[in-house]
Amino acid sequence: MTQYAMVIDLRKCVGCGACALACKTENNTAARKYGQTHNWADFIHETTGSFPNTGFRTLPVLCNHCSNAPCVEACPVEPKAMYKTADGITMHNDERCIGCRACQDACPYSMDEVTKDGAYGEYSVISYNEEGESTQPFFTDKTELIKGCTTSGAELVALTGAIPPHQTRYQHPDYESVRRDNIVEKCIFCDHRIKNDELPYCVSACPSSARIFGDLDDAGSDVAKLLKQHQSFVLKEEEGTKPNVYYIRDYSAR
């Protein structure tokens, strides 16, 4: 059986954000309230030690596509809105989702709640589209930055016939190109691309090849070879979720 996994080489990752921009473009994720954005490819920036003996690293984070996925177990609808595919991807069905956010509460990696100071948590693995709020608010705005000179978001939509105007359209039996209000969203390993023998877009876009994707059960795959060659770790191993996103090596700017 195929078991898709991702390996992230921290020695190659410089936190440039190309993966996040690629993900946003490919999956049409949008601006959200508080000026934040949906980022399925997100980052944790860590600083350790005390000056002058300090260390720093950027840790890319995304849905871990856990083999023992608490989000799937917590989903109350039948058939499940959050479910596992035969090849190990944790998928989400937009039509079946009732927006209860039980998956988000169950996920030990999801930090989508607003903190006391108005900022979001470290990263958001499962995000929620607030009920009654457009997931693409800019593109319903008719305001011109310079009246009679610049275009508005609504005008761009009228000219291109798509929200967002740069929308990536793809056919998928369980997934909409642009998600609607009152449901959750998350990384799906670009399942629509995999079905066309393409890599997840964050992998293709990484300029340093820090992201490697493939079949963990294929001993000849790059991910299997790297995990055999290097000591790896996963996030929150103690939770017993068996993540399929692995980290190898390390980098520290000193």
Q: What is the DSSP string of 82-120?
A: EEE-TTS-EEE-TTT-----HHHHH-TT---SBPTTS-B
Task: Report CA-CA distances (Å) from 104 to 83, 119, 243.
Answer: 14, 18, 16
pTM across the whole model: 0.86
Q: Bridge-partner residues for 186, per DSSP?
A: 126
Q: Where is 126: in which H helix or E strand? A: strand 126-128
Predicted confidence (pLDDT) per residue in 228-239, tens digit: 999 999 999 999
Nearest in space to 61 (alpha carbons), one of 230, 202, 163, 254? 202
Predicted confidence (pLDDT) per residue in 12-56, tens digit: 998 899 999 999 999 988 765 444 556 788 888 888 888 888 888
Predicted confidence (pLDDT) per residue in 178-234, tens digit: 888 889 989 999 999 999 999 999 999 999 999 999 999 999 999 999 999 999 999
For the chain, list the domains and their CATH numbers: 4-248 (3.30.70.20)
Other CB atoms within a 10 A radius of the CB of residue 90 amount to 25
CA torsion sign, 131 to 136 to 138 to 141? negative
